[in-house]
């Protein structure tokens, strides 16, 4: 029985080894949002085309909608753009575009060149509104329900798989409520 204590180091090592193996699948820089399940921040954001007027998520109450954070400087946003255009064409839910830390003219030029999938365009040049949304990189996409509660956040470029597998079913469920 006393010899069993010599097995302890092996057991501990195996335990740590298991964690390390499981950890290989993690992405250490993907930070899940604590805002999922909470009301969308009401911070007013200036419209891209009319900087004197502001918009806030309150105006979208009663609808299920998406907020897509992007910038003309962001290469991943260019990659996901066709997917967004496709989604807009399918008319699943309105998409609001938040141009983040972007010069307004650059944003407008980009949309003119690549197409505009957004029902509405807002621009956050200082980044303060984005902080309220917990944005830390682009592109990011939020799903908000009819009551104005954030239901999901996707980090990184949208892909047809993510849309079909997770976001679109979620939006349909929320719309049925």
> Is the Cβ of residue 61 or residue 128 nearer to other proteins in the bound state?
128
Least Å distance between CB 31 and other proteins?
5
Q: In angstroms, rounded to a whole number, what is the distance separating the alpha carbons of residues 177 and 174?
A: 5
Which DSSP letter does residue 38 get?
A: S
Q: Which of 99, 126, 129 is nearest to 114 (CA)?
A: 99
Tokens 């967004």 belong to 84
Residues at the site binding other proteins, with contacts judged by CB under 8 A = 2-3, 6-7, 9-10, 13-14, 16-17, 19-26, 28-29, 31-35, 71-77, 100-103, 106, 125-128, 130-134, 136-139, 155-156
> Is the Cβ of residue 72 or residue 121 nearer to other proteins in the bound state?
72
> Is the Cβ of residue 14 or residue 176 nearer to other proteins in the bound state?
14
Q: Which of 34, 97, 62 is nearest to 174 (CA)?
A: 62
> Is the Cβ of residue 17 or residue 165 nearer to other proteins in the bound state?
17
Least Å distance between CB 79 and other proteins?
9
Least Å distance between CB 158 and other proteins?
13
Least Å distance between CB 63 and other proteins?
24
Strand partners, 124: 100
| 57, 61, 64, 69: CA torsion to nearest 10 | 0
Which DSSP letter does residue 52 get?
A: T
């Amino acid at each position: 029985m006393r010899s069993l204590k010599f097995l302890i180091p092996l057991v501990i090592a195996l335990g740590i080894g298991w964690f390390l193996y499981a950890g290989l699948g993690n992405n250490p820089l993907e930070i899940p949002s604590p805002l999922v399940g909470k009301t969308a921040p009401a911070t007013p954001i200036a419209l891209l085309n009319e900087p004197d007027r502001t918009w806030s998520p309150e105006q979208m109450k009663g609808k299920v909608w998406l907020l897509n954070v992007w910038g003309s400087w962001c290469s991943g946003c260019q990659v996901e753009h066709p997917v967004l255009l496709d989604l807009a064409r399918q008319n699943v839910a309105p998409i609001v575009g938040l141009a983040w830390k972007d010069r307004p003219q650059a944003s407008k030029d980009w949309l003119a060149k690549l197409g505009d999938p957004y029902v509405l365009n807002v621009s956050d040049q200082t980044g303060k509104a984005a902080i309220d949304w917990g944005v830390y990189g682009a592109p990011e996409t939020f799903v908000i329900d009819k009551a104005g509660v954030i239901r999901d956040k996707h980090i990184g470029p949208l892909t047809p798989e993510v849309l079909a597998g997770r976001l679109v079913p979620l939006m349909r469920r929320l719309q049925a409520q």
